[in-house]
Structure 1
């Protein structure tokens, strides 16, 4: 029976809610990360790479050898020490040649494990087809796989690896800090009208020389002074990002069915409600009964008869939970845990309470 681990964020009073800087709750429009990808080869595997059936790996390895004046047909390659992989990385909004970023490597063939392998030089391209960085290095795989005589032991996913700092930026990305018409557009990570209006008001109060206007739930426009010297623009943008504002807490209950974790705020209150549930269990037991003939006659037609006796038993174990005024999600989960409720039943109960209007929070099931 899976038990639930409940985590609660204790915010007993508004004074305990810490103010956050604007750079922690949003970004300026145009500042975004860039995704890169490429296809490469991982070598050095201990007979856990792609099999000979994978023509992509054999052809890629043959093409690699041809660059070093080794003419080998792909049909002659049978080694399982090489695997074809997909390489991905995230390029920051501002980067320069020589910067190093992390790389994720995932198997794209039938390799069993990438443990002990090293990624060969792989160019990573952006959506526009241009090469932005080169990846290479030894893989760090947080798992393992051992197989012998039809016995298998596996931990995590050994076909996914990470190379910390394994990608060197060849072509950087820059963003012009000078906004068009002197208008900065600040975008909230989580759109909310209350938060958007609060950000605009706090910017006007902290930096009176700026005019901030909330355009919608996720956008705040900040009008800069008519003339800002280039050497002062960076300091002004840094001052805007450093403005502190009190966040608006969105009440949510997050339930992870796989791990059995419930995350909720301590202020998540449940109205008085009664919850009842039950499980119907049916068990069928079958026994064989052998009946011998009363009079034994020397005849080929004389045989013992076998009959089956089946017993069907149905049991229904039910329980009920009653919440009182002021009860929270923590109290409800504790009561349901005491009743040994499964993960699926826990999610169904929370969703039913939400549908009845007794739970004033959004439920997020992962």
Structure 2
């Protein structure tokens, strides 16, 4: 526990030393393009159902996955092969779901990466080839077609008495395996107004972005709508197009504001505290009570010349009670900074997991002016 405390202290010292080497204003500034997204410039999810062929006996068992057999029969009929009524037992075919992301402004003929995931009881997709699979958007239209050899990172091997599986052999990827067939109708250059959406909605940050844009462009083209949205209007008669305006403003820097927040992951013991966290005057002490019970049963039996008696197991229990932790009561002054808070908690000699309980107790007492989120 003390080791964890020393590690946390070293990390905190390293972060503080880095912060001292860089001006605070420059360290907290971010480009507008990194904290907002432009309305209409977005990706779209695609999905499709297909078959992977050419597997080395590691495909679906057709009697357990009837949809694989139906898909195989339909595919053969489209190719002019009559397979109805035939009993098929191939093990080199697998039914898969194919997913992909269509980037914004993708044009016909552009290639995209696709992911392939088994649906049935196939054991491995290694060495398989995905046959032409239409990829549909949310509107049911075909936007791309995927085909190609599946690259699988994982593998599986088995013998009569043992087996080993590394990674996920039923999931693969085809680099540049999809070809865009339909474009999404969206022309950014034709717009006269557009909305900027903040990744982390905050009223102060949105106002700072609005003021920065208007000050740089020397006009009132940016207008704050809500903590998450800024509307950008191209003035009538303005020489630059809206695309040129976005290019000019996306490199401007703004210092984002943030809420006082403490993020806690109880599974891993990770604690992340924002720079705006403040603590009122509070006294903290920490201690752990450990109770251990050990059983050492003994065998009691009659002597060698005893006339009677039976062998018995006699229980022997030992109970130890130990109280560990600091014997000091640490007082944190009012309105301490994040550095003071970390230093005060490290002074108690506690680890991250005990620190989680302390932070929750400080919040429950009303001394912490911050929001606690438990992941």
Q: Same fold (TM over 0.5)?
A: yes
Q: Which residue of 1 aligns with 2:253?
A: 244
Q: Secondary structure of the equivalent of 2:76?
A: helix
Please list, as runs of the form range in 1=range in 2, the aligned pairs for 1:57-206 lying within 5 A after superposition: 57-68=68-79, 69=81, 71=83, 76-79=88-91, 81-149=92-160, 151-177=162-188, 182-206=192-216
Q: Which residue of 1 aligns with 2:317?
A: 311
Aligned counterparts of 2:55 and 2:345: Cα–Cα separation in 1: 47
Confirm or deny: 8 A CA contact 1:266 1:328 kept in the other structure: no
Task: Give the superposition deviation at 1:23.
Answer: 2.0
Task: Give the superposition deviation at 1:219.
Answer: 1.3
Confirm or deny: 8 A CA contact 2:42 2:104 kept in the other structure: yes
Task: Give the superposition deviation at 1:122.
Answer: 1.7
Confirm or deny: 8 A CA contact 1:62 1:73 kept in the other structure: no
Aligned counterparts of 1:332 and 1:163: Cα–Cα separation in 2: 52
Aligned counterparts of 1:173 and 1:364: Cα–Cα separation in 2: 39
Task: Give the superposition deviation at 1:260.
Answer: 5.5
Task: Give the superposition deviation at 1:89.
Answer: 1.4
- Cα gap change, 1:275 to 1:32, in 2 (>3 Å): farther
Aligned counterparts of 2:148 and 2:345: Cα–Cα separation in 1: 47
Confirm or deny: 8 A CA contact 2:32 2:249 kept in the other structure: yes
Confirm or deny: 8 A CA contact 2:271 2:352 kept in the other structure: no
Aligned counterparts of 2:344 and 2:153: Cα–Cα separation in 1: 36
Aligned counterparts of 1:75 and 1:257: Cα–Cα separation in 2: 55
Q: Which residue of 1 aligns with 2:37?
A: 27
Confirm or deny: 8 A CA contact 1:40 1:86 kept in the other structure: yes
Aligned counterparts of 1:144 and 1:359: Cα–Cα separation in 2: 50
Aligned counterparts of 2:341 and 2:52: Cα–Cα separation in 1: 48
Aligned counterparts of 1:163 and 1:210: Cα–Cα separation in 2: 48
Task: Give the superposition deviation at 1:62.
Answer: 3.5
Q: Secondary structure of the equivalent of 1:163?
A: strand
- Cα gap change, 1:175 to 1:352, in 2 (>3 Å): farther
- Cα gap change, 1:194 to 1:266, in 2 (>3 Å): closer
Structure 2 unaligned runs (5+)? none
Post-superposition CA distance 1:33-69 (Å, at most 9, x none): 2111112233444544434523333333333334341
- Cα gap change, 1:261 to 1:84, in 2 (>3 Å): farther
Task: Give the superposition deviation at 1:109.
Answer: 2.8
Aligned counterparts of 2:54 and 2:345: Cα–Cα separation in 1: 49
Q: Which residue of 1 aligns with 2:50?
A: 40
Aligned counterparts of 1:60 and 1:3: Cα–Cα separation in 2: 56
Confirm or deny: 8 A CA contact 1:97 1:170 kept in the other structure: yes
- Cα gap change, 1:141 to 1:204, in 2 (>3 Å): same
Aligned counterparts of 2:311 and 2:237: Cα–Cα separation in 1: 105
- Cα gap change, 1:197 to 1:134, in 2 (>3 Å): same
Give the paired residue count: 356
Scaled by the length of structure 2, the TM-score of the pair is 0.76
- Cα gap change, 1:83 to 1:238, in 2 (>3 Å): same
Q: 1:222 aligns with which of 227, 232, 253?
A: 232
Scaled by the length of structure 1, the TM-score of the pair is 0.77
Post-superposition CA distance 1:125-146 (Å, at most 9, x none): 0111111011223334443444
Aligned counterparts of 1:277 and 1:78: Cα–Cα separation in 2: 65
- Cα gap change, 1:95 to 1:77, in 2 (>3 Å): same
Q: Which residue of 2 aligns with 1:287?
A: 297
- Cα gap change, 1:312 to 1:134, in 2 (>3 Å): farther
